[in-house]
Amino acid sequence: MLRIAPLLCCLLISQAALAQVEPAHEEVELIPAEPAPLGVRSLFVGITSLLGGWKYWHGDRYVLIRTVPADAKVGLYYIRFNFQKRFERARTPVRVRLPTRSNTTGRDVFFVRVVANGFTTEERSYPARKVSGELLIQLAPLPNALVFFGHTYIAGRTTLLLHTSEEPQFRVSQSRASPGFVLALAKTADKLERRPEVSAGQVQGVDVAQLGEDILISIATRDTEVEVRSKQSYNPIREEHILLLDIMSRGARVPAPADVRRALERLAYAPADRCNRSAEAALRDGLDPVAVAKAFRPTGGIADVYRREAMLYLGRLDRGTVHTLVGEDLRTGNPIELQLALQTPVTIEGYLGLLVVFALTQDEPSTVLRSLVAPQMSPEEFRPVVAAAEAAWRACRN
């Protein structure tokens, strides 16, 4: 007896712990206000009840509904003769009280609609008289996922960059409540690692919300005189689809390569300047070369034009040649060597310094520079990188 007592105590403690872990069941009643109509069925129920079927026909009935994932939203419907007689909303796990079998007809239906953010909506229909006492409904993941949300800002144009695992089905509509737009991504799960921070140019803020199977992205703008232009591309290396939304003032003109070239030629930039080299070295130390190389893969956005024209301009300053940190020479007039230089921009002498000087001529220098060299970084992550480059430049001048 002395040995059994500790075992019994441990068993009771384990059961108590399991009871605490098990989530509480919400209970709802799904019984129509009107009783089932009388007929031949009622006579059959009475006879079988007297012959030992009383509990079957008149006993209380409950259905416990669990879902994967847990804590899903469910719509519970009781349908009789194709008419909805009762409706309730709940969250799983939920315990549903149904009418007794004697108060049902053979055509009564118990209908369940399950919704969970990031999963496909599931609908199940059960005969009310024969439904099991416990249901487990498993939802399937959505076929598409939003895996990256970034933005760039150059020359008065804010570009939103969205990466999805599959080709997106989207719709852009103008917001009625305030200046801005709403982007809807159908059947797409929100897999973002962090919430986007967007405040540049005409864009005042962005809010991403998962509503069942869809993602709704609210884009707040500073005024109503703006327009949105969309473009899609595909990154075969990362196997991601890219959706670009250019947001600009209504009627704004897209800068042509010749416009970008003239803007770069107006810069007071000297590759051999000691302070420019100091700022470039500090910027290079704060950036991940692999992440920068990924950012320079073409997306079809306006940033691609500025990056390419900046590399060509740097080459024109030294007879069409740029130099790497390890002493290699690449000819910008050769398409293959130009592409190689754009794939390894951190290793090109003077290139990052040129982008810094260009960004300083823009209305939002830090945002423009981040857009050109590291759009995958958040503004908060990029601030210390810019601060270090500016500090190195000021220390050199002083």
CATH numbers and ranges of domains, the chain: 22-138 (no CATH), 142-253 (2.60.40.3500), 255-398 (no CATH)
Identify whether 384 is preceded by a cis peptide bond (ω within 30 of 0).
no
The β-bridge relationship of strands 144-154 and 188-190 is parallel
CA separation for the pair 280, 379 (Å, rounded): 19
Residue 139's nearest CA partner among 125, 164, 165, 118 is: 118
- Residue written as token pair 């487990």: 136
CA separation for the pair 351, 291 (Å, rounded): 16
- Whether the model clears a pTM of 0.85, i.e. scores above it, the answer is no
pLDDT one digit per residue (tens) for the chain, 398 residues: 444 455 445 444 445 444 444 556 789 999 998 887 765 555 555 556 555 566 767 788 999 999 999 889 999 999 999 999 999 999 999 999 999 988 888 889 999 999 998 899 999 999 998 999 999 999 999 999 999 998 888 888 888 889 999 999 999 888 776 788 899 999 999 999 888 887 777 788 889 999 889 999 998 888 777 888 888 988 888 889 999 988 887 777 778 889 889 989 888 888 778 888 888 888 888 888 887 887 788 877 888 899 999 999 999 999 999 999 888 999 999 999 999 999 888 889 999 989 988 888 888 888 889 889 888 888 888 888 888 888 887 888 77
Q: Region of 112 please: left (phi>0), alpha (psi -120 to 50) or beta.
A: beta
pLDDT for 7 equals 45
pLDDT for 395 equals 85
